[in-house]
Structure 1
Amino acid sequence: MLENFNIVIVAVQHWDIDIGSNCKSIARELSASNRVLYVNTPLDRKTSILKSGEPRVRHRMNVIRGKQDGLEQIDTSLWTYYPSVITESINMLPDNALYTKLNGLNNRRFAAEIRKATQRTGFDHFVLFNDSEMFLGQQLKELLSPLLSIYYIRDNLVWLPYFARHGKRLEPLLIEKSDLVVANSDYLADYARQYNADSYMIGQGCDVKRFDDNLWNYSIPDDVATIPHPRIGYLGNLTSMRLDIDLLQAVATRRPDWNIVLAGPEDADFRSSSLHSLANVFFCGPQPLEKVPACIKAFDVAINPQIVNPLTIGNYPLKIDEYLAMGKPVVATKTRAMDFFRKFTYLAKNATEYEACIEQAINEDCATLQEQRRNFARSHTWRHSVELLSQQALRLLEESGRSTIQNSRAHV
């Protein structure tokens, strides 16, 4: 395990986001035995104008104007920093010399802010951990000279419109120049390995304790409890970008004796789909976070009917961990990322295979299999993920002779 190092983290997700974040979880785990500085990316000029009334933007503007301190201590060995500069909004530019020049300017502004924060926190030498910041992080290795530069991939972001414009060129360059690349799925590790041989899958953590029904003895929600068995359930955002509506319709139509339970907010395609006309399909709406385990408990079989596209094919499916932590049999779309779960799930490529796998899952389910699933999910902790990261980082630090640099050690 990495211990007594200074670690600077930059990430596309800011510390003050409302939702959970892989990078924040990694930061907290690393801070248990290291000093960690989580540097938020600077406010960009377009956002500072168009969203000036939003609380987060007002906070950042107060930091820029010197009315608030951008450095905040979160815990004994964990700080977050909000930069006091604005970067130029350049994503709309074509991928040309002007973009490269302005992105270099943005990188230098960001690096200067990181140096300012490291000086204030006494981070003389540090490891740099970059969570998917492929634009503002493009030149940080050269500008900051970290002991080790680590690039972390947790989503196939370059297929999202915003990132695709420049990311399809820039992310491979950043992967290539990084000392170490870690990913949360086999698919993304395979992708990174095309450009950097030191690319590894480290999985990710899950708060499995929250899904321990033996501990909490959850009560099934009333609106789900009235639905007859067998209940074939999905819980999460119902969006056609990630889920296969046609597959769901085919399974529901072929098996009117099964009841398909879909819990979560719907996008326009789901709201207008013919699934709403089927008597054995039940939409339960968005579920509060505290009711998620209770809703999963109601399922006889949990499913993840992903549509396979560049955005979904490589994602680590956290909901699979949540399903398994509840002991549920799981049927999911077969992808490279799902290979990691293949011994504890049923994998299908189309509606016919989904139907067969669900049937098998119902017939085979037993207490022994349920406990095996729970044990597998329990092994997916953030500590384990950070241990895998640390193994590779320490190896490279030792090979480079940097693991014993005097001032690289922090005192936690």
Structure 2
Amino acid sequence: MNIMFASHTYMGSPFVVGSHHLAREMDKLGHSVIHVSTPLSPFHLLKYSKDRDIQERFKIWRGKRPDVHPSVLNSIPMTMLPWEIAGPLYKRTKKNYMLPSLKKAMRQKNMDSVDLLLIDQPRFVGLEELIKPKVTIYRPTDIYSKMTGDGSIAAAEQTLLSRVQGLVSTSGPVLSELLPYNPDIPTLLLENGVEYDHFSKPAAEPEELRDIPGPRAIYVGAIDERLDLKALHLLAERMPELSIVIIGPVHEGAKSYFAGLSNVYLLGAKNYQTVPAYLQHCDIALLPLSNHAANAGRSPMKLYEYAAAGLPVVVTETPELLRRREPFLYFYRQAGDFPEQVRATLEQHSDKETVRQLAKRHAWDSKVESLLDFAQNL
């Protein structure tokens, strides 16, 4: 098939998201795949000198950066208006002035038409009418309207769900949030998966870890308002014998917040290819979630990535994660309970191979099979 993803995150970003994995697996199966992410606009040039992410996106637009997966076309198009301007206009007029032309990308892949369009980014509303694919599926990965506080996103999602042929949700709360827009639409609940072989294949201990004493607890991901920094700080205070390794882009606020704690190691962002080595040489993984609205509908890929590396995970209770009943997840409710749950989980000495096998059934190839079966039935 000719398949197009309309995603929120470009391939090659510091964050590897579900659409990247799905695109790669579909390409492996012989499908022709274009991965399009949120467009650039002339307004982005105002931030160009200070924003590394925007600089990288312009490189991809100019064709100056090789594709992550050579046979998947990684497209960042150019448009006139960013969503910050186009969104409010869309809410009033139902016309999306952010929509880019994708004719050039389709010519590059010799696509005369699109069989399957998967929209992860609601800002692409209207693309389904522009491209006219045989089947369009909306695949939200978060409760975007609550996460952003942007009313124009809710308007975009309402329109999308009146036009698309299917809704694929990565979590129960996301499905519950959106289904009222179109209660009769065919749905599939398909949680995010894991690149199992990548995370389970044994890797040498990174030199950076060698001087960090054990036991080691690790968090990998964004350091933003969705992460409970207070819980991590409390853990470091109450368990000074535990080394807490944090991998992800570090801002000055985080550095100052943990400045007085000698057992917290902020290692910065790491290439996706090297992350398994860091995980495999730690003892336990952490996912302390804040009370931010975005966390209610999250389907964190890192849970299964942690598990594929053999790590039990201490995580904040959410209805979605409790629903999954994964044996390698150890829950706590309040920040004050976090250190005790970490201590108890460490004392259990979970068998790493058992944990890995629990993650294996969530490999991306099985997720793709379920998704394509759903699309074929539409």
- Shorter-chain TM-score bucket reads 0.7 to 0.9
The letter of the residue matching 2:180 is Q
Deviation at 1:259, TM superposition (A): 1.4
Q: Secondary structure at the match of 2:297?
A: coil
Q: Separation in 1 of the partners of 2:70 and 2:15?
A: 17
Shift of 1:17: 4.3
Tell me the matched-pair count. 365
1:348-367 map, 5 Å: 348-367=332-351
The aligned residue for residue 203 of structure 1 is: 191
Distance 1:342 1:119 in 2: 43
Among the aligned pairs, what percent are the same residue? Answer: 21
Asked if structure 2 preserves the Cα contact closer than 8 Å seen for 1:261 and 1:283, the reply is: yes
1:180 to 138, 162, 166: 166
Normalised TM-score (structure 1)? 0.74
Q: CA deviation at 1:180?
A: 0.9
Which runs of 5 or more residues in structure 2 are unaligned? none
Counterpart in the other structure of 1:34? 31
Residue aligning to 1:283: 265
Question: Could you list the per-position Cα deviations for residues 153-173 of structure 1 after superposition, in whole angstroms to 9, with x for gaps in the alignment?
Answer: 123433454x72521332233
Contact 1:328 1:373 (8 Å CA) reproduced? yes
Deviates more, 1:138-147 or 1:330-339: 138-147
- Whether the 8 Å contact between 2:75 and 2:105 is mirrored in structure 1 is no
Change (3 A) 1:336 1:199: farther
Alpha-carbon contact 1:93-1:99 (below 8 Å) kept: no
What residue is the counterpart of 1:11 in the other structure? Answer: 7
Distance 1:332 1:82 in 2: 35
- Give the drift of 1:282: 2.6
CA–CA distance in 2 between the matches of 1:320 and 1:276? 27
Structure 1 residue 106: Cα displacement = 4.5
TM superposition shift of 1:114: 4.3
Cα separation, 2, equivalents of 1:330 and 1:385 = 22
Structure 2 vs 1, CA of residues 54 and 325 (structure 1 numbering), >3 Å: closer, same or farther?
closer
Residue identity matched to 2:58:
V
Would you say 1:44 and 2:41 are equivalent positions? yes
**Pair 1:327–1:118, CA change in 2 (3 A):** same
Determine the C-alpha separation between the residues in 1 that align with 2:170 and 2:348: 30
In structure 2, relative to structure 1, the CA distance for the partners of 1:169 and 1:357 (3 Å cut) is same
Across the aligned residues of Structure 1 and Structure 2, the Cα RMSD in angstroms comes to 3.6
**1:76-115 to 2 correspondences below 5 Å:** 78-79=72-73, 86-89=79-82, 91-92=84-85, 95=88, 100=93, 103-107=95-99, 110=101, 113-114=102-103
Cα contact 2:37–2:76 (8 A) shared by 1: yes
Residues 156, 118 of structure 1: alpha-carbon distance in 2 compared, 3 angstrom cutoff: farther
Aligned twin of 1:371: 353
Q: Decide whether the 8 Å contact of 2:33 with 2:73 is kept in 1.
A: yes
Residue 150 in 1 paired to residue 134 in 2?
Answer: no
**Residue 286 of structure 2 corresponds to which residue in structure 1?**
303
2:86–2:96 CA contact under 8 A, matched in 1: no
| 2:374 aligned partner | 392
Q: Secondary structure at the match of 1:235?
A: strand
How far off its partner does 1:378 sit?
1.8
CA change 1:250–1:182 in 2 (3 A) is: same
Matching residue's letter, 2:199: F
Whichever residue aligns with residue 372 of structure 1, its letter is: T
Task: Return the offset for 1:89.
Answer: 3.7
Indicate the residue corresponding to 1:409 in structure 2: none
What is the SS of the residue equivalent to 1:342?
coil
Deviations 1:293-342 (A, max 9, x none): 33333433322112131123322222222221222222111113323253
Residues 145, 298 of structure 1: alpha-carbon distance in 2 compared, 3 angstrom cutoff:
closer
Counting only pairs closer than 5 Å after superposition, residues 338-349 of structure 1 correspond to structure 2 as 338-339=321-322, 340=324, 342-349=326-333
Structure 1 Cα separation of the partners of residues 5 and 172 of structure 2: 23
Q: Secondary structure at the match of 2:84?
A: coil
How much does 1:48 deviate? 5.5
Which of 120, 141, 155 is 2:128 aligned to? 141
Structure-1 residue corresponding to 2:227: 243
State the 1:374 CA deviation: 0.3
1:151 to partner: Cα distance: 1.0
The higher relative CO (CA closer than 8 Å, separation ≥ 6) is in 1
Matching of residues 57-68 of structure 1 within 5 Å: 57=58, 60=61
**Change in 2 beyond 3 A, CA 1:272/1:58:** closer
Secondary structure of 2:295's match? coil
Summarize deviations over 1:364-402 as a string: whole Å, max 9, x none: 2243xx322101212222211111212221222xxxxxx
- Of 238-247 and 283-292, more deviation after overlay is shown by 283-292
Assess, with a 3 A threshold, how the Cα gap between structure 1 residues 341 and 371 changes in structure 2: closer, same or farther: farther
Which is greater in Rg? Answer: 1
SS across alignment from 2:298: coil
- Which amino acid counterpart does residue 384 of structure 1 have in structure 2? S
Deviations 1:325-366 (A, max 9, x none): 222222111113323253221111113432342233223224
Say if 1:385 and 1:59 are closer, same or farther in 2 by CA, change over 3 A: closer
Q: Which amino acid aligns with 1:174?
A: L
Aligned pair 1:380/2:371, yes or no?
A: no
Q: Distance in 2 between matches of 1:154 and 1:86?
A: 24
**Code of the aligned partner of 2:138:** Y
Bigger CA drift: 374-383 or 298-307? 298-307
Q: 1:313 and 1:390 mapped to 2: Cα distance?
A: 27
